[in-house]
Structure 1
Amino acid sequence: METNGFAETTQNNHIVTPFRVGSWLPSDQKILQNWMNNLIEETDIKRRDLLPVIAEFKAFIENDPEAFMYFNLMFSQVPKKYRKDPSGHKQVRDYHHMLQLFNTIMTHAPEFNTSGVVGFPINAILDWSMGTEAGYAAFLNEKVNNQFKRILNEWAIFLKSADSCAVLNKDPKRGWFGKDAMDAMPNFDTEFVCQPELEHHGYTSWDNFFTREFRPGQRPLASPADDNVITNACESAPYRIAENVKARDKFWIKAQPYSVEHMMAGDPFLEKFIGGTIYQAFLSALSYHRWHSPVSGTIVKAYTVDGTYYAEAISEGYDDAGPNDSQGYITELATRALIFIESDNPKIGLMCFMPVGMAEVSSCEITVYEGQHVKKGEQLGMFHFGGSTHCLFFGPQVKLAFDMHGQKPGLNSSNIPLKSKIATVL
């Protein structure tokens, strides 16, 4: 089988996916340990003064008693078997070491790597501490998340600078235009707007590369004249379809059910979606990261909701894939946007598109405005530094027949092309 373009293997009658959902972090812990060892070695050898935003985070931890407790406990609570790699090398030792590692990656853009696309460097650093009781509490804390927001905003400035282009090279193993990367994205030059004859394919920054656009005609719109056909809002793989959703539910349990009031952060429109349908899908690290309207209609309201960055479901425990397997859980808590659209089709009425950030991928840029009319397939906005997951909300009066293109929604599903049909209004 294929998962987002990467082959699966079988061991002892169990499918072993070589990448976690969406290919953001490797599923093989040895790969992640090797990546961490290299980062730790570089950091320990080349220690330098903390950047101002990291020094500010350090001062916050040490001056806020609650944060000081959390960031001391989370590393001591990591089980001993996870504190060292199989060779005996220490992993992240304490919050001082964590901050030094953050300091290192702030001037790096992710390199390509066939053995594991580490698209979430900070997530990788926090991998085990996120599963502790102290980590669970810390990464839900509003003050902690405000500090992470400042760090990620600062890092975004670097990722939008010309200096971040260093990884957009033709190194056969690590470059985003080297042999291994082009083998993973074989149709890149014909699919995406770029200038292959120029340095960095004409991209001006890492962010410019990651928010790249499809060439005209690459993703044709399904049934443009039929308002009963709903199209895929992102280049994404189906995760879940839920019907008769509740206003409130226990979203933190293993099943991670949807809780509309929390997902919509108490928006007055939420009442229109109780008892309705939610469709969720996730994006791949190697894919397209812009959002497009699944219906034709008028933008009624559009805004972002600040939330968490590194919170994962406590029910995932010390599963190293916990952040990715918390796809449902983060829809209630993570940084996200809400775009309400009054469909031209009265059988649909008001629907909502909600892009959800995950870890580093939490910059939700909305490019439409209230009162604007959009046609099905037109752009709504984009993620920066990759992608994450998104939901479509429909009211209880909307009866839908979903088309998942021959697959079952779940963590091992594959991308459905952008603007393809995903549902029909009955």
Structure 2
Amino acid sequence: MKGHQQRAEAKGDQVVLHPVIVEFKELIAGDPVVRMYLDRMITEVPRSRSYSRQHLTSVDQMLLLINEVLTVAPEFGDQAVTLPLAGILDWTMGTTAGFAAYRNPQLNAMLQKILNAWCQFLSSNESRYVLNDTPTGWKSEQACKAVGIEQFQHDPQDPYWGFASWNDYFTRTFKDGQRPVAEPDDDAIIANACESTPYSIKTDVQRNDRFWIKNQPYSLHDMLAGDEAVDQFVGGTVYQAFLSATDYHRWHSPIAGTIVRASVQQGTYYSEADAEGADAVDPRNSQGYQAHVAARAIFLIQADNPAIGLVAFMPVGMNEVSSCVIGAGLTPGQHVGKGDELGYFQFGGSTHCLIFGPGVIKAFNLAAIPQLHDPNAPTVRVRSHLATTQTGRKADGSS
């Protein structure tokens, strides 16, 4: 945040506000509830904390800093993507007023407009300036190591590695052979949908539950936005895992089957679980809660294997990682193979859920799955063996 603040202050009266920031300013002036929430969440951050000197001091300052972000691409920093919007808003997410503010429909609609405007910049070739070899550039030695760029399709001879924009780089694809599909001819084996670190495995999940309390139980009706298929999952299993900012951010089908429905459900962008208290400033602690309220895509896939039945796959946007892009052509009736691509996230870290009906999962591949809730655990590779169902069928029809 410090760099954005210095740039904004250096411009002084010469600052030109982006049209979406002008609109945000008008919303704040015209909506007393939004204005109250924003002012209170800034003042409620404890000033005794060591980070307080880098924190927001006013709503006007917040607007100027967000205005600067709209022409800035995420940089590399300390083994992660430096998310500039989260850097501005992070401490406010753990305040009493912040918990309320980020659930406000008018504020969320404005945040969506801001993120869309930023996405336009990140999809332009102006955003690829961060593909350089400075310490905060994505071609630096540390960044290359954190990302494992040698595994991905890129052109080493091109100054920008052949990427047209920041978003193009962020949604990079693996080289052929890097992530083979686990047991492609055995549909008893369920593949991992995302390159990710396991967060939670819950069984006997209920149709409705209090997802906002401390242990964040899953509430299927809310997760699936009231889909008519909810009853097929009641009493079943939810597997959730976290994608770090430097991970591969494309999604792949865990099974072979037919797309029943695929859509994007709009939701909140910076709302965290207030049951987590001050720890809510780390969005990883609110992953269960966010699966119910955040912007997310919802896939329903009817498995070829009748022992699996209907499966729900739900990639969930976290903070500014709210752009869930469903792959072209993935319409109802489209058949996908196990491991086929389904879509991708844009920006930084995110989370996802796989939902199975009761009795479907025989066992998770615990030998490959690291300890739950361990943020430093190694990732489970995409398309690797995640779980086994009760019965299976080989490609030749044998069991």
Instruction: With the length of structure 1 as denominator, give the TM-score of the two structures.
Output: 0.87
SS in 2 for 1:41: helix
Using a 3 Å threshold, how does the CA distance of structure 1 residues 359 and 406 change in structure 2: closer, same or farther? closer
The separation in 1 between residues aligned to 2:324 and 2:138, in whole angstroms, is 24
Matched residue type, 1:42? R
The structural deviation recorded for 1:320 is: 6.4
Equivalent residue, structure 1, for 2:37: 70
Counterpart of 1:402 (choices 345, 361, 364) is 364
Counterpart of 2:241 (choices 249, 263, 281) is 281
Matched, 1:372 2:334: yes
Equivalent residue, structure 1, for 2:58: 94
Equivalent residue, structure 2, for 1:55: 22
Matched, 1:120 2:83: yes
Compute the RMSD of aligned alpha carbons: 1.5
Q: Do 1:316 and 1:322's aligned partners in 2 also have CA atoms closer than 8 Å?
A: no
Matched residue type, 1:393? I
The structural deviation recorded for 1:113 is: 1.9
Q: Do 2:189 and 2:387's aligned partners in 1 also have CA atoms closer than 8 Å?
A: yes
Q: Do 2:272 and 2:281's aligned partners in 1 also have CA atoms closer than 8 Å?
A: no
After superposition, the C-alpha distances for 1:255-304 in whole angstroms (9 at most, x for unaligned) are 11111111111111111111100000111211110000000000000101
Q: Do 1:120 and 1:359's aligned partners in 2 also have CA atoms closer than 8 Å?
A: no
Gaps of 5+ in 2: 391-399
Matched residue type, 1:335? A
The separation in 2 between residues aligned to 1:118 and 1:289, in whole angstroms, is 13
Equivalent residue, structure 2, for 1:261: 221
Matched residue type, 1:314? D
- Alignment map for 1:163-174 (pairs within 5 Å): 163-171=126-134, 173-174=135-136
Equivalent residue, structure 2, for 1:181: 143
Matched, 1:110 2:74: yes
The structural deviation recorded for 1:183 is: 3.1
The separation in 2 between residues aligned to 1:316 and 1:46, in whole angstroms, is 39
Using a 3 Å threshold, how does the CA distance of structure 1 residues 99 and 344 change in structure 2: closer, same or farther? same
Matched, 1:385 2:347: yes
Equivalent residue, structure 2, for 1:209: 169
Equivalent residue, structure 2, for 1:324: 284
The structural deviation recorded for 1:90 is: 5.4
The separation in 2 between residues aligned to 1:320 and 1:240, in whole angstroms, is 17
Q: Do 1:295 and 1:343's aligned partners in 2 also have CA atoms closer than 8 Å?
A: yes
The separation in 1 between residues aligned to 2:331 and 2:254, in whole angstroms, is 16
- Alignment map for 1:286-297 (pairs within 5 Å): 286-297=246-257
Equivalent residue, structure 2, for 1:333: 293
Instruction: With the length of structure 2 as denominator, give the TM-score of the two structures.
Output: 0.93
Gaps of 5+ in 1: 1-35
Counterpart of 1:300 (choices 217, 235, 260) is 260
Equivalent residue, structure 2, for 1:148: 111
The separation in 2 between residues aligned to 1:196 and 1:355, in whole angstroms, is 31
Matched residue type, 1:376? K
Matched, 1:158 2:121: yes
- Count of residues in Structure 1 that have an aligned counterpart in Structure 2: 384
Equivalent residue, structure 1, for 2:395: none
The structural deviation recorded for 1:148 is: 0.4
The separation in 1 between residues aligned to 2:383 and 2:279, in whole angstroms, is 34
The separation in 2 between residues aligned to 1:174 and 1:381, in whole angstroms, is 28
Equivalent residue, structure 2, for 1:43: 8
Using a 3 Å threshold, how does the CA distance of structure 1 residues 118 and 40 change in structure 2: closer, same or farther? farther
- Alignment map for 1:405-420 (pairs within 5 Å): 405=368, 407-412=370-375, 413-420=377-384
Stretch deviating more after TM superposition (315-324 or 119-128): 315-324
